[in-house]
Structure 1
Amino acid sequence: MLAIMRSDSRYGYYEFFCGGGMARLGLGAHWRCRFANDIDADKANAYRANFGDDHFHQGDVCALNAADLPGEADLAWASFPCQDLSLAGNRSGLAGERSGVFYGFWRLIEALNAEGRGPKLIALENVTGLLTCSDGADFEALCRTLDAGGYRVGAMEIDARWFVPQSRPRLFVVALRKDIPIPDELVLDEAPDGISPFHTRAVRRAAERLPDALKANWLWWALPVPPIPNQTLGDLIEPSRRTPWHSPEGTKRLLAMMSPGNKAKLKAARQSDTPMIGALYRRTRIEKGERKQRAEVRFDGLAGCLRTPGGGSSRQFIVSVRSGRVRTRPMTAREYARLMGLPDEYKLPQRESAGLHLAGDGVAAPVVAFLREGLFEPILEHAEAVLSAREPAE
């Protein structure tokens, strides 16, 4: 069992839609999990296998009540379902059956606030499609909900590639209770320019579309730019002898699905004097009005954005090119886990498909750690110092 929580844990949190506990890993040893919840049986089993059963509840978030949540928490984390918001889904937004469970989570936050024990911070993670879904109406509704509940709101688009060799842009909405003071160095005075890596054009446009009343409580969070990691995809994959490779015929069939542009990438890799490791994934593209499945490859040291496997079409593959020879194989669940920042001692589900689903549907743990170090802890430390100074001396 992963021992990441110390007896002197300083901060407490609730984690909703917790999956296999990746946010828990990112929050680390000085944060105490007071309550965790997920409805998926395989993810629940993985969570229990790695962290035990303390404070974990398996079931529908909409069936929970405030009485189920013990004590108070500094943070409520929610990586709510993205299927109704992503480009791969039906884009029905927060009105959809799956992504709409956000309101089940929010009902709990309202109840906690009514009891005087609402979390100081709320962190929401989802696909970047939330910014534009329903022509921006979903993002505005989310900000309006948080604002009306007593929170100031800011959003950032953070790509996991800053921390692990995977291209995985995700939206992180961080809301702070309005009565909590904010350190000046953690917020910008005005909208950042185009050089900000986390306040992307999509984030700035979404914020600009908000009504003036919501803009008045908007926060431009200021985070440092992390160093580019040295790890590449090739550093994380299993040794060749441990994994079964496709037959030459299987590789040929997969490569035949490439567009001319991707075939050119592969040709360049075959002509290189250096062995190359790439990632290949299948995507459905519209070509001349018709849907066509294509194999797309990259040799930039990164995997594409991991997704949950659906019919095999979204599973990623390793492409090895050495001395002109090309081999392919499916990426393993352990490789998926490494690309999400999970340590090798993390216990994955026994079924490979369940492991792929757990990792592909999770939040990259190092991104959570980055937010913890750059925002959560400085805010809470500052708030504690300010509020302590306001208390009258005995």
Structure 2
Amino acid sequence: MNKQGPLKGVKVIDLTAMVMGPYSTQIMADMGADVIKVEAPNGDNTRFISPGPSEGMSGVFVNVNRGKRSIVLDLRSPEGKQTLTTLLADADVFIHSMRGKAIQQLGFDYPAVAAIKPDIVYTNCYGYSRRGPDADRPAYDDTIQAECGLTYVQQLLTGEANYVGSILADKVAGMTALYATMMALFHRERTGEGQEVEVGMFETMASFMLVEHANGAMFDPPTGPANYHRAVAPNRRPYQTKDGHIAALIYNDKHWSLFMDAVKPAWLSDDFSTLAKRAARINEVYGLLGETFKERSSAEWLSLLNTLGIPAAPLNRTDDLFNNEHLNAIGFFETISDERGSTRFPGIPTWFSKTPGKIASGAPLLGADTDAILADTAGINTQVQRG
């Protein structure tokens, strides 16, 4: 497996499943880390949740586990525990997504792992912090979306309490686990000191949602409710045109002035001439713009707005991204071919001038690398029971 990138040489023992943890370690693998995915004999459930080229290789699983190596261990057995112990002895990172009590019962909580490798970075991916009363509650993306206020602000926006059409909590929490782990690695690089890191989905999404929605509720006394009124204005939606819809944001005073001069809508008024005035009546502004956009076609609006330098975009389907001119021009997609055929992966969104990452391989079949990993790891009997 040809590894390159800023994390080349970093060894990660990945005991995560589903999406939050695997998405975090997928990025580590893309950036050059040797990620060893530890799976139980029945495999990560995500292997079976969507269509794929073969059984146990669902599209979601293949994407978030690309570039990793898979080893099957029964961690309930003495042999499995001993194998994991040996793997941890020369690891840089141990990351898991088990509940706190469960990982402790297995004998791989932080004190136990730090005794094996004192300078290890140990990352816990939880639903809720173990430091609070909700520790060890089960959590999934849908329940966290509801609990963090995301479904509430969707209701303010659309009139119905809805989930967003993306597993947003899983992915945001996964990226948070990534940056937290990298910060701990940076600290270790400077000091030689390992440490334990904890990332809770609920705490992550509460922080994420309150970036803008904390708003007036942060102050004492409060100056307003905990929501950003522009984001939840009912008329904030893609604009309907003569033949479809487009997205556009005529936001700052420069863009507003350019748009008014070019279009001269009948409702043009000094009442909306500044950002502060528009912000105070933002839902009304969106409604007026919505009526104006019905007067021309999508192509006409996109051409005009592009000429004026006003942010605007067509409403793409997710399928359209695979044929997007910009993404293809920058080489965003990477095709990996193996015995199962070709997979066109959504690529690495970041760019490094000295140490670019690379999708090193597709996702592994369950346990595909068990023997190779055991053979490469000093002190492990390659005939060890694997469940």
| Shorter-chain TM-score above 0.5 | no
Higher-strand-fraction structure = 1
Q: Who wins on radius of gyration, i.e. which is larger?
A: 2
Structure ranking higher on relative contact order (CA contacts 8 Å, 6+ apart): 2
Q: TM-score, normalised by structure 1?
A: 0.31
TM-score normalized by the length of structure 2: 0.32
Q: Which has the higher helix share?
A: 2
